[in-house]
Structure 1
Amino acid sequence: MANLYQMEIDKVKEAISTSALQYDLVIRKAYDFIKKAIN
């Protein structure tokens, strides 16, 4: 992500809140779980 926006890693870490990151991970895990359950 730092390369994508041409930012320093520390700046990227400041921009992304941990709660948003946690929410994203929960959604991804739920999506993967549902995908596996269907197959």
Structure 2
Amino acid sequence: MRKREVETWMNQSPDVPIVVRIRRARHARAIIASRPSGNS
């Protein structure tokens, strides 16, 4: 998992509530994990 990619994506919206950030982080991780090139 590319932690830096997730953090950068989350930091694009600093005014978003913590709960929404967690949901976005989980969603982003799921997308990254489902990518064939995300394992490298």
What TM-score, normalized by structure 2, do the two folds share?
0.49
Normalised to the residue count of structure 1, the TM-score between the two structures is 0.50
Structure having the larger proportion of residues in helix: 1
Q: Larger radius of gyration, structure 1 or 2? A: 1
Higher RCO (CA 8 Å, separation ≥ 6 residues): 2
